[in-house]
Structure 1
Amino acid sequence: MKSSLIISTYNWPEALNLCLLSVFKQTCLPDEIIIADDGSRSETGDLIKEFQSKSKIPIKHVWHPDEGFQLAAIRNKAIAAASFEYIIQIDGDLILHSDFIKDHLRLATKGKFVSGSRLLLPEDFSMKLLQGKTSPSDRSLLVMGNNRLNGVRIPLLSKLLSSIYKRNKPYYVKGCNMAFWRKDLFAVNGYNEDISGWGKEDSEIAIRLINYGVNRLFLKFGGICYHLFHPEASRSKESHNDLILSETLNMRKVRCEKGLDSHSLSK
């Protein structure tokens, strides 16, 4: 099975550097990397070019002008640019466990999408990592994390729990750690680009996928990633995004009006 890894980023090349370094330490590499860049300055592009020059697998840089927080739109553009059938989606402020891709591919199931979680790193340790004062390893990241249960890897238990973990919260997802079949994303028209600013784009697409008949598996005790500390984004548009989420839920929507088909008709 061929996979595309989409990494969303915005003006934080130091974090993206750590993220990409962790990608190339994977026990199972993706078949391509797509950087979904929400309007970063040239420093990010320069970093990507450096990785492109060294990488044995394709790295695509998908960029649009900075018009505020437009994560849904840039993810759609990256999905449209993806070449392979299975899409694994992360954020560029994550460091991946060395078996992250392997765990996602092991759980990939037709007619399902996947969400995982992340282990939060404290501010002082994150700064040391970003400044190169310490090197990340699966053990050191686990020890320093704030919610260590999210950093425990037990592959057998992960498979057994995938369909029952958080079953009482079917729309609970973490957009920084998800995976989809590309054809399912086209079926629901991808992310809802009426959602801008922080929040709810991941839950909203989860609702539409479930309405379409594609249910969630939760990747617990696998698909581990470590989240670098940063200040919270502005919540100024959260109430607007909540209204869109409620409408999707109440009207049992499958497709959004402004979504993936704005960027590509290829399936």
Structure 2
Amino acid sequence: MKLSIAMATYNGAKYLRAQLDSFAAQSRLPDEVVICDDGSRDATVDILRDFAGSAPFEVRVIQNETNLGFVRNFEKALSLCTGDIILLSDQDDVWLPEKLATVERTFLADPRAMSTINDMIITDQDLRHQNVTLLGNIRRTGFGENRFIAGCCTAIRRDMLQALLPFPADHFAHDSWIGDMCVAFGVRRLIDSPMQLYRRHGSNESQWLLSEPREVSKFEAVVSAGLASPLKGWQPYMQRLEIMRCRILDNRASFERIGLFDEVEPALSWIAAEAGRYGGRIHLLSLPRYRRWMSVIGFWMRGGYRRFSGWKSAVKDMIRP
């Protein structure tokens, strides 16, 4: 298989070289690395050019004429890759030596897999860590593995990527679009072992509690969400589900062309079930609290809280304003 790495850079000089060196230290080297720089004003481009001149594989550095932003820059880098499998890379992590070999084996072993996502060890800015992983934190707090979305841990078949391009404007980050669509189709495979060091330095795109380089408890995760209305997050998610549904219907032939004949209807059913779960909770919160408790119990009995935090979510829905 031809393996490509797609990287998006922007003012990443401080940590960039360590990530590039980890590409060259892979037990299975990449066949190409495509890097789109979004108008860096530090030494990023100089570091990229120096690496391109010494790397034992093809490195293409593209400088954008205008700043595209994080999502569009990644979209451009991905679209320029020619590999059978494309791995997404941030500019500030460090990949462990077996990452590419492990990803390749996973795809070779499962022709139905269209994407993979691997676990990662969370570190501080100097790569110090307590061997805590992001997936470990997600599981520890009771969330399902579908909540694990991380572009820097994702690889995708080029065929699937072409069916997902272009990314929807304004509604999705690139990684959530890829992750949610592959989860809906049931074609994402989890690599349980950590394959990289995830450097946290205060300027990361994601500031999620579970990305802290320490063990996060279920209680802490629930308390951190508080009793504030979640509608600001749920309503956009409902919009995203509708965008996913429309893309599948509009591009059905593209998905069937890459062999996903049997997955289209289950994907639409998954989206409908998600919309039902979130729509149900949105409806509950529209009711006055004195009328809400019976509806919450009914939603519980129908299994509506299984996707969430069980009884804790039910209690919150009863007492939220």
% same residue: 21
1:242, distance to aligned residue in structure 2 (A): 7.0
Q: Aligned pair 1:9/2:9, yes or no?
A: yes
* Mapping of residues 157-196 of structure 1, within 5 Å: 168-170=144-146, 172-195=148-171
Counterpart amino acid of residue 156 in structure 2: F
CA distance in 2, matches of 1:122, 1:105: 29
Q: Which has the larger radius of gyration?
A: 2
2:129 aligned residue:
145
1:175, distance to aligned residue in structure 2 (A): 1.1
**Do the aligned partners of residues 222 and 169 (structure 1) sit closer, same or farther apart at CA in structure 2, a change above 3 Å counting?**
closer
2:241 aligned residue:
249
CA distance in 2, matches of 1:78, 1:170: 25
1:96-136 CA deviation, whole Å, 9 max, x = no partner?
A: 1111111111112333211123222224xx1xxxxxxxxxx
Contact 2:15–2:91 (Cα < 8 Å) also in 1: yes
Contact 1:150–1:221 (Cα < 8 Å) also in 2: no
1:80 aligned residue:
79
2:20 aligned residue:
20
Provide the TM-score with structure 2 as the length reference.
0.59
Q: Secondary structure at the match of 1:221?
A: strand
1:157 aligned residue:
none
C-alpha RMSD over aligned residues? 3.3
1:233, distance to aligned residue in structure 2 (A): 4.4
Contact 1:122–1:145 (Cα < 8 Å) also in 2: yes
Aligned residues: 218
Q: Which runs of 5+ in 2 are unaligned?
A: 137-141, 208-230, 251-321
Contact 1:38–1:64 (Cα < 8 Å) also in 2: yes
**Do the aligned partners of residues 222 and 118 (structure 1) sit closer, same or farther apart at CA in structure 2, a change above 3 Å counting?**
closer
CA distance in 1, matches of 2:188, 2:134: 18
* Mapping of residues 120-135 of structure 1, within 5 Å: 120-123=122-125, 126=126
Contact 2:8–2:91 (Cα < 8 Å) also in 1: yes
CA distance in 2, matches of 1:173, 1:234: 11
1:29, distance to aligned residue in structure 2 (A): 0.5
Provide the TM-score with structure 1 as the length reference.
0.69
Counterpart amino acid of residue 254 in structure 1: R
CA distance in 1, matches of 2:232, 2:159: 29
Structure that is richer in helix per residue: 2
Counterpart amino acid of residue 7 in structure 1: M
